[in-house]
Structure 1
Amino acid sequence: MSTDTEANKRKALALLEASGKHDGPAFAALMHPEGTYWTLGKPHLFAYCGEKSREAICAYMASPSIFVGGVETTFGDITAEGDRVAVEAETKGTLPDGRVYTNMYHYLFTFRDGLVWRVKEYLDTQSAAEFFAK
């Protein structure tokens, strides 16, 4: 595996770690100036879904997390080829009211100029929508 591919894997994981902590500066440093972040689902059913510009997603990641202490992420399989990295992950976060949110994810990252140019996030949107509707 090339050094660029290995570097892309490290950057993909670093972006997810920054996301879990809502570390806006670290997240923004990894995103390409023309980057986008897409989350599976229908925005009218679950507001976090759809395509977000770099500016919108970086602003969100710079805001405080709704989870006490951020989100704990456990990584599963990681596959990389060329300018793409695929990551399986599971998250766990506790809300201030004590409820614990968990979900499984699959991320597909595409890199350009050594930075994350596109993120595609796949998750169980129905589970998320039901949890946050309470």
Structure 2
Amino acid sequence: MSEESKAVARAYYDAINSRDPDAVLATYTDDARTWVLGDGPYSGFHSISREFVAGFLEASELRFTILSMISEGDKVALEVESQGTFDGKPYANRYHNLVTVREGKVAEFKEYFDTARALG
């Protein structure tokens, strides 16, 4: 399942980079959730919804690049970088993501990154 799980993670980032909310939503299970590091407004667990995805895509003009990826079973660990703008300001960051795959889709997405850079 490791190679299949990697393919799901790649498809997720391809969808994010396409900037199409429907394509992004199609990569998630119906009960998917995301977790973001920190204490800010986006921190903690969130259910995935069209509004959640569309809000992120509207606020950002980021392009994500996968730098490395390892997988075991249904888990994929990725090192990712972004370049672009967020809320109209130049933005770049590096991330560690832990993706849990179920039935060929993202069931859980955890994101670790430099929150100080994200919050300005």
Q: What TM-score does the superposition give when structure 1 sets the normalisation length?
A: 0.78
Question: Paired residue for 1:41, among 27, 38, 42?
Answer: 38
* Paired residue type of 1:27: V
- Residue pair 2:28, 2:107 contacting (<8 A) in 1 also: yes
Runs of 5+ unmatched residues, structure 1: none
Q: Gaps spanning 5+ residues in structure 2: where?
A: none
Counting matched residue pairs gives 119
Show the counterpart of 1:60. 52
- Higher Cα Rg: structure 1 or 2? 1
Contact 1:21–1:65 (8 Å) recurs in 2? no
Match of 1:73 in 2: 64
State how far apart, in whole Å, the 2-side matches of 1:49 and 1:35 are. Answer: 16
71-80 vs 20-29, greater mean Cα deviation:
20-29
Q: Report deviation, 1:21.
A: 4.2
Kindly provide the amino acid, as one letter, of the partner of residue 87 in structure 1: L
Return the match for 1:91 from 82, 86, 91: 82
Question: How big is the alpha-carbon RMSD for the aligned residues of Structure 1 and Structure 2?
Answer: 1.9
SS at match of 1:17: helix
Normalising by structure 2, what TM-score?
0.87
- Contact preservation (8 Å) 2:33, 2:48: yes
Equivalent positions of 1:1-134 (< 5 A) are: 4-42=1-39, 46-55=40-49, 58-63=50-55, 64-67=57-60, 70-94=61-85, 99-130=89-120
Are the equivalent residues in 1 in contact too, given 2:62–2:86 (CA < 8 A)?
Answer: no
The percentage of counterpart residues that share the same residue type is 34
